[in-house]
Amino acid sequence: MEMEAVEKMATLRHPRIRKVVRQLEWDGGDWKHILIIKTDLSLNTQSADYDKEAVNQLVTAISTTLKNAKAGYHKIKIEEV
Planar angle of CA 13, 9, 67, nearest 5 degrees: 70
Count other Cβ atoms within 10 Å, centred on residue 62. 20
Q: Which domains does the chain have, with CATH numbers?
A: 2-80 (3.30.70)
What predicted TM-score, i.e. pTM, was given to this entire model?
A: 0.83
Count other Cβ atoms within 10 Å, centred on residue 37. 19
pLDDT tens, the chain, 81 aa long: 343 444 456 789 999 999 999 999 999 999 999 999 999 999 999 999 999 999 999 999 999 999 999 888 999 999 999
Integer Cα distance of 74 and 29 in angstroms: 14
What is the reported pLDDT for 72? 87
